[in-house]
Amino acid sequence: MQVATRSFNSRLKNFRFISNLSVSEKLLRSGVLSIKDEVRRALQRNDPIVALESTIITHGLPYPDNVKCAMDVENEIRQKGAIPATISILDGVIKAGLEYEEMEYIGNVEKSSPVKTSRRDFPYVLSKNLNGGTTVSGTLIVADALGISVFATGGIGGVHREGETTFDISADLTELGKSQVAVVSSGVKSILDIPKTLEYLETQGVFVATYGTNQEFPAFYSRRSGSMAPYRVSNPNEAAKIILSSKIMNLHSGMLFAVPVPEEQAFDEEEIHKVIQEALEEAKKKEIRGKQITPYLLRKIWEMTQGKSLHTNIALIRNNARVAAEIAVQLKNLENGADSQIGRKDNPDGIVVIGGSNLDLCAKLQQDQIKLDGRMHPSKLSYVAGGVARNICEALTKMGSTPTFITAIGDDKAGELLTSMMPKQMKDKSHVLRGKNTAQCVIVLDSKGDCSHLLADFDIHNEITPEIIHKNEDIIRRAKLIVLDANISVESMGTILKYATEHKIPVFFEPTDVIVAAKPFETDFWKAVKIITPNINELYFIGSYLKILPSERECGSESIEDIARLAKKVASFVENVIVTLGTNGVLIARKASACDTFLTKPQNGNIEIRHYPAEIVKNVVNVSGAGDCLASGLILSTLRGLPEEKCVSVGFSAAKKALKSSTAVGDDMFVENLEDWEDCAKYYVVETEITELNKMPHT
C-alpha cells in the first residue's frame, strides 16, 4: 500500500507561510500530518479519544499477531465509548488514526520497512518520506500537539539496567516530563531498572500512580516489582480528576497510571526475573545495545517462555486500552460539566433511538395461506415486543451498547406487558401516557415464516410530540448518532432534525413502511439524514416524493440493475442509501468506496453502487426482526469506525441471529457472539450504464 504524499520541497515551501501557527495547524497545512475522519470528528466535537503508539505493531509483536492485536485494542476503546487514534508515519506523513489497510501495510514490516521513531528520528523519517512506528515518546509528541489527553500502551521505556554507567535512559521519560498527556501502561518493561526509572520520573516532575487496589508498582509481565508508587487511584473518575487538576494548573508535564497485568495472564515475579536475567546476559555477550536492545530482549523472552510472554503482552495492552478509554470518557464528562454525564456515562456509544414501541401478537399459520371466508385458521400464537425503533434499540443493547431510547407507551395492560419485556436500560426514557392505548400489531406469518398480513393500532406514536423531544434536548444534542423510525409525526421529526442540523449530528433513518417512508423530506432539515435503509418499495416511494422517479411502476419487476438506477438517483439527495433486498442481501449507493466508513465525508466524484448478496440461511424461525437487527449491526459497527464492507458483514451476522430466533431480537446478539465482526462482506460492483452486472466478487 502506498500513500499519496507531497514532496518534501513542496512542504518546505508551504512552511514559510505558516511559521506562526500552532504545532498541529503547522503540521496539517504543511501536509506532514493527516488525521483520520473518525479522529477529526472526535477532536471537533470534543469527544473522548485515546492515542495509541505504533511500535507495538512495527517492533513489538510478530506479524500478523501485531495487526490483529492493534485492531482488537482499537475495538476495546470503541466499546468503552472513546475513539482510538493510532499514531504512525506512512511515506513521511504522520497519521493520526489508521485505516485497516494502512495498519495491515505497516504491520507487514518486510514490505513497509518502518523506522522506530522517537523525538530524534522525526526529522529524518519525514524528510526521507519513510514509514515509521512511533515510540511512546514519539506518540506523546503528536498526541500533545493534537490535544489528546490520554494515551494507552503496553509498557513505557525507562532507565536500563547498569544505566549509571551506560547512561542508557529512554526518551520516553524526558518526553513524559514535558507533554501534557496521561499515559496508561503496565508500568515499565521488566527488563529495565524500575527503582531508578521511578526516581528519574520524579526528577522530571511526572505524576505516577498505580491503578487498582495495590500501590506496588507493576513490572509489566508480573503484578509486583518490589517498588512502591507515590500514589494510587482506584477508578476512572479519580484518574480523570487528577488529569483535569493538572490541566487547570497548566503544569505541562505528563502522568503515568500503572495498571497491573490481569492476574490470570501474569507471570510469577521470580520466574520472569530469571528469564530476564538470562536474556540480558546473552544480549551483553552479543554486544546488543541502543534501540536494538528492547526488541531483542522481548523476542528472547518470547522464545524462553515458549510464547507465553506474547499472550501476556497482548492481554495487558488490551486491558490498558479499556482502562484508558474509561478514563478518557470520564475526563470529557468532567470537562463538559456534570450534565454531560447523562449522555456519556450511561451511553458511551452516543446512540439515541427515537420511535415506536409495539406489543405484537404473532400468529404463525399451520397451513399455507389464509382463506377469507370466515373459517378458523389453526395457528401458533405468541406475544412479542416489537416496533422498528424498539427492535433496533434492543438489538443494540444486546450487542453490548447502551443506547438511549425515547418512545411512548400507554398505561394499559398491553403497556405493562410490553414494558416487562424490555431490557432495564431501555425504560428510562419511555414516556408512559395516561389514558392511551399502547401500540399493538397483529402479525400473521405463513407456514414459512414470511409476513402475510398486518393489523395495527399505532395512534400512540403521534404522542411522541415536539414537547417530548424538547424535554430530552440535552440527551439528543450530545448524541453521536440519532436513529429514527418513520412512526413519529412529521412535526416531531422536524424538531429532531433541526437539533441534528444545529449540532452536526448524523441521522440514521429507517423508513418503516411505504406510506411514511418520505417523512424526513417533508421537513426543512432533511439534509441531516445521512443514512437511509429502505426496502425496494420504500425506495421507490421516496424517489416518487422527491420527483426523481415516475409515480407508477409495476411492483416486483425490478432487476438488481433497475434497483441500482433508482438508488443512484436517491443517493444524489442522501449520502448513504442502503437498500434492503431480503434474501438478496443489500444494495448500497454512495460517493465513497467500500473501504470508507458510512460517516466518511463524501468526496466529489461518481456515486458508486455495490450489491452485497446475503448468505442462504436454512431453518428460518422468524423473519420479523431480521431487517431491524441488520440495521443495528450497521449502526454499531459504523460508530466503531468500521468500513462499509465490514459493517455489512456485522449487519448480516446480526440478521442471521434474528432469523434463528422466535422473537424479533435474539438473545445471543452480543458483539463477541456475532460472526464476521472482522470479516469483509463480498460485493459486486453494479454498473448502471451497461446491461450486464459485473460478476467479479470483491473481498
Instruction: Please enumerate in sequence order all residues whose Cβ is within 8 A of that of 287, keeping only pairs 6 or more positions apart, or say none.
Output: none
CB burial string 108-139: b at 16+ within 10 A, e below: bbeebebbbbbeebbeebbeebbbbbbbbbbb
Q: Which residue has the higher pLDDT, 691 or 503?
A: 503
Q: Which residue has the higher pLDDT, 234 or 21?
A: 234
Q: What is the pLDDT of residues 94-107, one digit of tens each?
A: 999 999 899 999 99
> Of 96, 294, 328, nearest to 190 (Cα)?
294
Do residues 320 and 401 lie in contact, with contact meaning Cβ atoms separated by under 8 Å?
Answer: no
Q: What is the pLDDT of residues 69-85, one digit of tens each?
A: 999 899 889 888 899 99
| Mean pLDDT computed over every residue of the chain | 84
DSSP symbols for 372-383:
SSS----EEEEE
Do residues 128 and 92 lie in contact, with contact meaning Cβ atoms separated by under 8 Å?
Answer: yes
CB burial string 468-478: b at 16+ within 10 A, e below: bbeebeebbeb
Calpha distance 193→514 (Å, rounded):
69
Active site residue 568: no
Q: What is the mean pLDDT of residues 412-426?
A: 81
Calpha distance 347→400 (Å, rounded):
11
Question: What pLDDT, on a 0 to 100 scale, did the predictor assign at position 3?
Answer: 45
pLDDT surpassing 60 at residue 477 = yes
Is the Cα dihedral 235, 236, 237, 239 positive or negative?
A: positive
Q: What is the pLDDT of residues 591-643, one digit of tens each?
A: 999 999 998 887 767 899 999 999 888 877 767 788 999 999 999 999 888 89
β-pairing, 207-211 with 83-90? unpaired
Distance from CA of residue 3 to its chain's centroid?
24
Question: What pLDDT, on a 0 to 100 scale, did the predictor assign at position 8?
Answer: 56
β-pairing, 440-445 with 358-365? parallel
pLDDT surpassing 80 at residue 445 = no
What distance, in Å, lies between the first and last C-alpha atoms of the chain? 16
Q: What is the mean pLDDT of residues 477-493?
A: 93
Q: Which residue has the higher pLDDT, 696 or 541?
A: 541
Is the Cα dihedral 237, 239, 244, 249 positive or negative?
A: positive
Question: What pLDDT, on a 0 to 100 scale, did the predictor assign at position 299?
Answer: 76
Say which of 80, 116, 189, 332 is annotated catalytic.
189
Question: What pLDDT, on a 0 to 100 scale, did the predictor assign at position 578?
Answer: 97
User: What single DSSP character describes residue 456?
Assistant: E
Neighbours of 284 (CB within 10 A): 13
Torsion on CA atoms 64, 69, 74, 79, rounded to nearest 10: 130
Calpha distance 235→230 (Å, rounded):
17
Q: What is the pLDDT of residues 395-413, one digit of tens each?
A: 898 887 889 999 999 988 8
Q: What is the number of H-type helices and E-type strands within the chain?
A: 26, 25
Question: What pLDDT, on a 0 to 100 scale, did the predictor assign at position 333?
Answer: 85
Q: What is the pLDDT of residues 309-365, one digit of tens each?
A: 788 888 999 999 999 999 999 998 888 764 333 333 455 678 999 999 988 887 877
- Angle CA(438)–CA(443)–CA(445) in degrees, nearest 5? 165
Give the three-state DSSP class for 591: coil
Q: Which residue has the higher pLDDT, 554 or 152?
A: 152
Q: What is the pLDDT of residues 6-50, one digit of tens each?
A: 555 555 545 444 444 566 777 777 788 999 988 988 888 788 999
Q: CA dist 578 to 556, 567, 625, Å?
A: 18, 8, 17
Q: What is the pLDDT of residues 105-138, one digit of tens each?
A: 999 999 999 999 999 999 999 999 999 999 999 9
User: Counting Cβ atoms within 10 Å, is residue 1 exposed (0-12), middle (13-18) or buried (19+)?
Assistant: middle
Do residues 501 and 528 lie in contact, with contact meaning Cβ atoms separated by under 8 Å?
Answer: yes
Query: DSSP E strands: which ranges in 170-211?
Result: 182-185, 207-211
DSSP symbols for 295-325:
HHHHHHHHHHTTTHHHHHHHHHHHHHHHHHH
Instruction: Please enumerate in sequence order all residues whose Cβ is within 8 A of that of 253, keeping only pairs 6 or more positions apart, or say none.
Output: 176, 177, 178, 179, 180, 204, 205, 206, 207, 246
Question: What pLDDT, on a 0 to 100 scale, did the predictor assign at position 553?
Answer: 58
Q: Which residue has the higher pLDDT, 52 or 561?
A: 52
> Of 661, 634, 643, nearest to 396 (Cα)?
634
Do residues 578 and 634 lie in contact, with contact meaning Cβ atoms separated by under 8 Å?
Answer: yes
Q: What is the pTM of this model?
A: 0.52
Is the Cα dihedral 152, 158, 160, 162 positive or negative?
A: negative
Q: What is the mean pLDDT of residues 232-242?
A: 92
Q: Map out the domains of the chain with their CATH numbers.
A: 8-342 (3.40.1790.10), 343-685 (3.40.1190.20)
Question: What pLDDT, on a 0 to 100 scale, did the predictor assign at position 669?
Answer: 63
Residue with cell 389514558: 435
The grid coordinates listed for 126 are 519525514
Question: What pLDDT, on a 0 to 100 scale, did the predictor assign at position 252?
Answer: 85
Active site residue 189: yes
Calpha distance 67→590 (Å, rounded):
29
Residue with cell 465525508: 601
Q: What is the mean pLDDT of residues 434-442?
A: 88
The grid coordinates listed for 336 are 463538559
Query: DSSP E strands: which ranges in 459-528?
Result: 481-485, 507-510
The grid coordinates listed for 223 are 503484578
Calpha distance 395→138 (Å, rounded):
41
Where does residue 36 fall: left (phi above 0), alpha (psi -120 to 50 degrees), or beta otherwise?
Answer: beta
Q: CA dist 457 to 225, 421, 436, 453, Å?
A: 67, 19, 11, 14
Neighbours of 290 (CB within 10 A): 8
pLDDT range class, residue 517, cuts 50, 70, 90: very high
> Of 92, 96, 127, 97, nearest to 112 (Cα)?
92
Specify the range with the lowest mean pLDDT, choosing from 256-270, 484-498, 602-616, 679-693: 679-693
Dihedrals phi, psi of 289, to nearest 5 degrees: -150, 180
Calpha distance 638→292 (Å, rounded):
39
Torsion on CA atoms 542, 543, 547, 553, rounded to nearest 10: -110
User: What single DSSP character describes residue 620?
Assistant: -
What percent of the chain has a predicted confidence (pLDDT) above 90? 43
Calpha distance 499→79 (Å, rounded):
26
pLDDT surpassing 90 at residue 296 = no
Q: What is the pLDDT of residues 163-204, one digit of tens each?
A: 666 677 888 899 999 999 999 999 887 678 889 999 999 999
Rg (CA), the chain: 28
> Of 119, 116, 263, 280, nearest to 193 (Cα)?
280
DSSP symbols for 524-549:
TTGGGEEEE--BHHHHHHHHHHTTSS
The grid coordinates listed for 449 are 415464516
pLDDT range class, residue 162, cuts 50, 70, 90: low
> Of 328, 401, 244, 334, nearest to 42 (Cα)?
328
Neighbours of 253 (CB within 10 A): 17
User: Counting Cβ atoms within 10 Å, is residue 334 exposed (0-12), middle (13-18) or buried (19+)?
Assistant: middle
Give the three-state DSSP class for 468: helix
Question: What pLDDT, on a 0 to 100 scale, did the predictor assign at position 342?
Answer: 33
- Angle CA(603)–CA(643)–CA(475) in degrees, nearest 5? 90
Torsion on CA atoms 39, 42, 48, 51, rounded to nearest 10: 20
Say which of 38, 53, 74, 175 is annotated catalytic.
53
Q: CA dist 659 to 96, 366, 653, Å?
A: 40, 19, 10
